[in-house]
Amino acid sequence: MEKKVTYRCPSNIALVKYWGKKEEGVQIPANASISWSLSDLFAETTVVARESNDTNLIFNYDGQPKPSFEPKIKDFLNRIAPYSEFVTKHTFEVNTINNFPHGTGIASSAAGFGALALCITDLERMFQPETLEFYQRASFFARLGSGSACRSVYAEPAIWGHHDVVGNSSDLYAVPYTGLVHSNLQGWKDCVLIVDDGEKKVSSTAGHSLLKNHPYAASRFQQAQKNIENILQFMQHGNISSFIELVESEALQLHAMMMSSIPYFTLIRPGTLAILEEIWTFRNETKLPVAFTLDAGANVHLLFPQSIESEAMNFINTKLLVYCKNGLYLCSSTGGSPTKIAE
Ligand code: PMV
């Protein structure tokens, strides 16, 4: 017996960052994080499940076998197998594509593991009754592939990690933020300015583990918890300037933690800093609400409300393009949901 399904899953960008784990193998975050989904930067994944007790895996990326990705997918299947009889009784063929060019330094694992987890959860429910609500279970599985991926399965801002002010929050899966979001902070756009398209010198896994004996870890985790509480207030009240200050501070704290790890490292490049300076100058001069955030890499995410899109695009094209590798940047709406493409 063979079953097949396809899901499209957006990437996401954290506004309050997850950096550091309470428990490594099982991806328990040291603090709560919140993200927006990036609906125009997505993975589209088809999974064919065949009844079998062996653990063979076929994995194709963009139509071609990709042996270098296979160990990660196998690890993922091994991690979710204890929770799913379905996984232990099937072998999988996985075909995946990203709609953004490979080698742009954009983390594809959030979209990729999000899409894979959605496919497996959907196939599984044809086989065994659900134990969690569908998206919660998909998020639970996605977390075991890549922590940040668990936030990709929701259209709403997604919160992952237990926090007292978010009633249903959990370390095991992300939950959608269904509270009020002021119109000032709805429908923002994110243009990712590609400063460096190379492989990261330090992987996220290695970066997270450096928080173990980090001198500032405890206060960083406390700060992040506080920032979750604050950002939810700013989102409810539409306080744009406080939102921008918090989001930029979070990005800089993430990179400050890297620079103050032992061994220390930085993923920021000269072009990254030049863009941040340009953003601060532009904001001062125009009073327009443009903000940046950073992932674990050199690229800059320029965030702005849709209402100032033409000014923001003009800013990118006149001031920021020179810092973009091969003039490349990729724009996305925020807030799109995953979609089932085919069965
Ligand atoms: O999901 P991971 O293990 O690749 O970690 C990602 C961490 C950051 O992207 C830097 C922050 C975040 O919350 O997404």
pLDDT score of 103: 65
Q: Among 146, 148, 173, 266, name the best residue to mutate to test ligand 1's pocket (greatest count of ligand atoms within 8 A of Cβ).
A: 148
pLDDT tens-place string over residues 156-184: 999 999 999 999 999 999 999 999 999 99
Q: Which atom of ligand 1 is nearest to the CA of 27?
A: 3
Q: Where are the beta strands (DSSP E) in the chain?
A: 2-16, 21-23, 28-29, 33-51, 57-61, 64-65, 90-98, 158-160, 174-176, 188-193, 291-294, 300-305, 329-333, 339-342
Q: What's residue 253's pLDDT?
A: 98
* Percentage of the residues of the chain whose pLDDT score is greater than 70: 98
Cα angle value 82/57/81 (rounded, 5°): 5
- pLDDT given at position 108: 76
Rounded to the nearest whole angstrom, what is the distance from the C-alpha of residue 146 to the centroid of ligand 1?
A: 8
| Ligand 1 neighbour 18 (Cβ under 6 A) | yes
Q: Is the CB of 33 under 6 A from ligand 1?
A: yes
State the distance from the centre of ligand 1 to the C-alpha of 224, rounded, in angstroms. 14
What's the pTM value of the predicted model, to 2 decimals?
0.96
Gyration radius of the chain over CA positions: 20
Cβ of 112 less than 6 Å from ligand 1 = no
The model's confidence at residue 201, banded by pLDDT at 50, 70 and 90, is: confident
Q: What pLDDT, in 10s, does the model give residues 30-58?
A: 999 999 999 999 999 999 999 988 878 99
Read off the pLDDT of each residue in 133-147 and give the average, rounded to a whole number.
96
Q: Is the dihedral of CA 157, 14, 187, 333 positive or negative?
A: negative
User: In the prediction, which pLDDT does 105 show?
Assistant: 64
**286 band by pLDDT with thresholds 50, 70 and 90:** very high
- Per-residue pLDDT, averaged over 117-123, amounts to 97
Over residues 222-263, the pLDDT tens digits come to: 999 999 999 999 999 999 999 999 999 999 999 999 999 999
- pLDDT at residue number 22: 94
Q: How far apart are CA 297 and CA 198, in angstroms?
A: 10
User: How far is it, in rounded angstroms, from Cα 169 to Cα 174?
Assistant: 7
Beta-carbon contacts of 119 under 8 Å, excluding residues fewer than 6 positions away, are: 5, 6, 7, 45, 46, 47, 94
Span 279-297, average pLDDT:
97
Tens of pLDDT, residues 46-97 = 999 999 888 789 999 989 998 888 999 999 999 999 999 999 999 999 999 9
Q: According to the model, what pLDDT value does residue 138 have? A: 97
Is pLDDT above 90 for 104?
no
Q: What is the mean pLDDT of the chain?
A: 94
Nearest CA to ligand 1 atom 10: 296
What is the CA(343)–ligand 1 centre distance, in A? 30
Angle between helices 134-145 and 70-80 (to 10 degrees): 130
Distance separating alpha carbons of residues 245 and 260, to the nearest angstrom: 22
